[in-house]
């Protein structure tokens, strides 16, 4: 169950090397880091998009092939994860705006920090002070969710059979050990060692690739097999 394939090791290695190079470059040449390595539509952004796109395909495939053969809660979570992956990839590309060159609707021109079509860079004003939705939901909120997932759910899943059955019934892909270590490594290096306002791009790059591996090659992969019989 914990075995890793050559494909997993290759993709994981790519993510780790990309994060390490990003950290090194941020110290050696801050200008290159900001304007080349983590630039919009650059290497790291497309790495994030491809990873989330691959996770979307995996989830979509499960949704189609397992439909009718799993409980409602199983399929509901799989559907939610499919939409989440599509949303993440779409947001990262501003829903193709920079590719196809269409103008942002007026709403996004007024409330998006980058004046692009997307929700994660929206700003809201409360009592005359602006808050970025990106930091509130996709920063703090996501960080709390990842903490609970790794620190609370993962060890409990391995130790408590009843909790394991509950999690499996909701189709939650649980991480292998190397994926847990990958999440921790990416967060530690990107958020603690990189002194740049653009360090979040490295977190997204490495984190999305580890997330894709988590979805595609989970510890509990057997529950997604068409031959698996739910308890």
pLDDT in tens, 44-67: 999 999 999 999 999 999 999 999
What is residue 130's predicted lDDT score, i.e. its pLDDT? 67
**Is 66:75 a contact under the CB 8 Å cutoff?**
yes
Residues 6+ apart with CB under 8 A from 159: none
Q: What angle do CA 71, 75, 81 make, to 5 degrees?
A: 150
**Is 220:168 a contact under the CB 8 Å cutoff?**
yes
Determine how many CB atoms are found less than 10 A away from the CB of residue 74: 20
CA 223 distance to own-chain centroid: 21
CA-to-CA distance for 212 and 85, rounded, in angstroms?
9
pLDDT in tens, 112-129: 666 666 666 667 666 667
Tell whether the torsion through CA atoms of 180, 183, 186 and 192 is positive or negative.
negative
What is residue 159's predicted lDDT score, i.e. its pLDDT? 97
The pair of structure tokens assigned to 210 is 């580890």
CA-to-CA distance for 146 and 149, rounded, in angstroms?
5
CA-to-CA distance for 121 and 149, rounded, in angstroms?
25
The pair of structure tokens assigned to 92 is 């990262």
- Percent of the chain exceeding pLDDT 70 equals 79
* Helix 177-187, helix 199-216: angle, nearest 10: 170
Write b or e for each residue in 23-53: b if 16 or more Cβ atoms lie within 10 A of its Cβ, otherwise e: bebbeeeeeebbeebbeeeebbbebbbebbb
Residues 6+ apart with CB under 8 A from 121: 112, 113, 114, 132, 133, 134
What is residue 1's predicted lDDT score, i.e. its pLDDT? 46
pLDDT (average), residues 12-35: 95
The pair of structure tokens assigned to 139 is 């920063």
Q: What angle do CA 215, 201, 146 make, to 5 degrees?
A: 40
| 148 has a pLDDT exceeding 70 | yes
User: What mean pLDDT, rounded, does the chain reach?
Assistant: 87
pLDDT band of residue 214 (cuts 50, 70, 90) is very high
């Amino acid at each position: 169950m914990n075995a890793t394939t050559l494909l997993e090791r290759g993709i994981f290695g790519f993510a780790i090397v990309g994060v390490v190079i990003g950290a090194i470059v941020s110290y050696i040449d801050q200008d290159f880091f900001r304007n080349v390595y983590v630039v919009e539509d650059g290497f790291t952004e497309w790495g994030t998009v491809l990873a989330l796109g691959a996770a979307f395909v995996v989830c979509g495939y499960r949704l189609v092939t397992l439909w009718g053969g799993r409980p409602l809660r199983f399929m509901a979570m799989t559907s939610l994860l499919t939409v989440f992956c599509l949303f993440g990839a779409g947001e990262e590309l501003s829903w193709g705006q920079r590719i196809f060159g269409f103008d942002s609707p007026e709403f996004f021109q007024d409330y998006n920090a980058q004046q692009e079509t997307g929700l994660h860079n929206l700003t809201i004003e409360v009592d005359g002070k602006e808050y970025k939705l990106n930091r509130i939901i996709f920063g703090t909120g996501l960080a709390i969710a990842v903490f609970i997932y790794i620190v609370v759910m993962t060890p409990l899943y391995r130790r408590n059979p009843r909790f394991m059955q509950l999690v499996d019934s909701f189709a939650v892909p649980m991480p292998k050990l190397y994926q847990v270590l990958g999440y921790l490594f990416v967060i530690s290096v990107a958020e603690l060692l990189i002194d740049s306002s653009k360090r979040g791009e490295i977190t997204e790059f490495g984190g999305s690739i580890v997330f894709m591996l988590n979805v595609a090659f989970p510890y509990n992969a057997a529950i997604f097999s068409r031959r698996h019989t739910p308890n």
